[in-house]
A and B are shown apart, each in its own frame.
Chain A
Amino acid sequence: MNSVFSNKGTIAVFVLPTLILFCGIVLIPIFVSSYYSLLDWNGVGRGTFIGLDNYVEMFKDTRVLNSIKNSLLFAGASVFIQLPISLVLALILASNVKGEGFYRTVYFIPVLISTVVIAQLWSKIYNADYGLLNVLLQNIGLAHWAQDWLGQKHTALAASFIPTLWQYVGYHMLLMYAGAKSVSQDVLEAARMDGASRIRTAWSIMIPLMKPILKVSLVFSVIGAFKVFDLIYVLTGGGPFYTTEVPSTLMYATIFDTFRYGYGSAISVFIIVECLVCTILINSLFKTE
Chain B
Amino acid sequence: MKALLKKSASLLLTLGIVSSLVACSTDSSGGAQGESNGKIKLTLWDQSVGNTDPSAKLLPEIVEKWNSEHPDIQVERTGTTGEQYKTKVKTSIAAGEAPDLFYGMGGGSFIQPYIKSGNVLEISSYLTDDIKERMGPGMAEAINMDGKIYTLPVYTHIANLYVNTELFEQAGAKIPTTYNELLDAIEKLKAAGITPAVIGEKDRWPGMYWYDIIAMRQAGNAAVMEAFKDPSKWDSPDFVAAATKIQQLAQAGAFNSSMFSMSYDEMLGAFNAGNGAMMFQANWVNAGIEDPSSAVKGKVKVIPFPVFEDGKGTNTEIFGGAVDGFYINQNTKHPKEAVEFLMYLSEQLGTQGFLAGAGLPSWKTDALDTSSLSSLDLSAADIMKTATSFIAWWDNILPAESAEAHKNLIAQLLAGDVTPEEFCKQMAQLKPTELSL
Contact = CB atoms under 8 A, between A and B. Distances in A.
B17 A219 contact: yes
Interface residues of A, number: 46
Interface stretch (A40-48, A163-171, A173-181, A183-191): A40-48
A269 to B, nearest CB: 10
A45 B12 CA distance: 33
B1 interface: no
A25 B411 CA distance: 39
A71 interface: no
Given A33-B22, A43-B113, A272-B19, A123 B261 contact: yes
A283 B7 CA distance: 13
Contacts of A149: 261
A275 B21 contact: yes
Nearest to A234: B263
Interface in B102-137: 113-114, 116-119
A276 B15 contact: yes
Interface string A216-249: 0001000100010000000011011100000010
Closest 10 CB pairs of A and B: A151-B261, A151-B260, A128-B258, A45-B117, A150-B261, A240-B260, A275-B18, A44-B117, A258-B401, A43-B94
A123 B263 CA distance: 11
B260 A152 contact: yes
Interface stretch (B29-37, B85-93, B151-159): B85-93
A148 interface: yes
Given A128-B258, A239-B411, A257-B400, A268 B17 contact: no
B19 A30 contact: yes
B14 to A, nearest CB: 5
11 contacts: A25-B23, A45-B118, A219-B17, A240-B202, A256-B90, A259-B113, A259-B400, A261-B94, A268-B22, A272-B18, A275-B18
Contact of B417 (A129, A241, A248, A276): A241
B23 A26 contact: yes
Contacts of A279: 14, 17-18
Given A240-B260, A240-B415, A129 B275 contact: yes
Interface residues of B, number: 44
A259 B203 CA distance: 18
B261 A256 contact: no
For B94, B201, B258, which residue has the most chain A Cβ atoms within 10 angstroms? B258
A103 interface: no
For A30, A126, A151, which residue has the most chain B Cβ atoms within 10 angstroms? A151
Given A236-B261, A259-B113, 9 more contacts: A26-B22, A26-B23, A44-B114, A128-B261, A239-B411, A241-B408, A248-B21, A258-B400, A275-B18
B258 A127 contact: yes
A148 B19 contact: no
B123 to A, nearest CB: 19
A27 interface: yes
A273 to B, nearest CB: 9
Contacts of A280: 14
Contacts of A172: none
A276 B411 contact: no
B113 A223 contact: no
A29 interface: yes
Interface in A61-102: none
Given A43-B94, A240-B411, A240-B415, A276 B22 contact: no
Contacts of A22: 12, 16
A279 B15 CA distance: 9
B408 to A, nearest CB: 8
Contacts of A240: 201-202, 260-261, 411, 415
B257 A29 contact: no
